[in-house]
Amino acid sequence: MSDTATATKATGAKSTDSKAKSKPANPEMQRFLDALTANQSVMWEAMESARKRGIRVNNVLAATFAESQEDLTGLACTLALSPRDYKGNFTAVVESLTKSQSRTMDLFKALLSEQTQSGDATRKIARELYDGSKEATTAAIEAGKALSAANPLTESVSKAFAGFKKAATAAREAMA
């Protein structure tokens, strides 16, 4: 048999073994893994939502900055081209300040909206993770019980610990 055929068979055997290992034998363990997977999905969705919120905030900031720069450049040109036109310059400054305040209010509204949405999303995600963690914990306990019930050493270890506890209690009482 060639080296390539041997490597292919070895790889095929590994992939079959990994498929067999990926499915737990008991339903409790599958339930535990499903709960962990669900929690992971919730976390990925939360990160994606936060990333999109960050992009929206950055877009608003960038647009506000660009508009402010254009307005400042226009104001500087107006003032430089006609320095003695006091009435026109004063009007240009007031208009520039008004636009600046309007942009600031729009930016504040956008940030407040994103903050509100973020708080709502955080509460929802925290609740989903809490529920998922309860499910995972319950499933883990049940899986542990099922595994310990199937383990032949469980009973002897339990008896040994009970004996240790009895001996420790007797020693404590003797010392008192």
The pLDDT of residue 22: 59
Type of residue at 150: A
Structural domain includes residue 97 = yes
In a domain, 3, yes or no: no
Q: Which residues of 127-161 are buried (b: 16+ CB within 10 A; e: fewer)?
A: ebbeebeebbeebbebbeeeeeeeeeeeeeeeeee
| pLDDT at 161 > cutoff 90 | no
- Please report the sign of the dihedral spanned by the C-alpha atoms of residue 69, residue 71, residue 74, residue 79: negative
In a domain, 149, yes or no: yes
Do residues 24 and 30 make contact, with C-beta atoms less than 8 angstroms apart?
yes
- Tokens 């499903």 — which residue? 34
Q: Tell me: the pLDDT tens digits for 17-30?
A: 445 455 656 788 88
Residue 105 lies in a domain: yes
* Cβ-contact 74, 95 below 8 angstroms: no
pLDDT per residue as tens digits for the range 72-121? 999 999 999 998 999 999 999 999 999 999 999 999 999 999 999 999 99
In a domain, 154, yes or no: yes
Question: What does the DSSP 8-state code read for residue 81?
Answer: H
| Residue 1 included in any domain | no
DSSP assignment, residue 23?
Answer: S
In a domain, 51, yes or no: yes
Domain count, the chain: 1
Parent domain of 61: 24-175
Hey, is 152 helix, strand or coil? coil
Q: Specify burial of residue 170 (Cβ count, 10 A radius: 0-12, 13-18, 19+).
A: exposed
pTM over 0.75: no
Using CA atoms, how far residue 5 sits from 1, 15, 18, 19, 161, in Å, is 6, 15, 20, 21, 53
Phi, psi of 2 (to 5 degrees): -80, 165
For the ranges 58-62, 136-140, 157-161, 166-170, the one whose mean pLDDT is highest:
58-62
Residue 2 in any domain: the answer is no
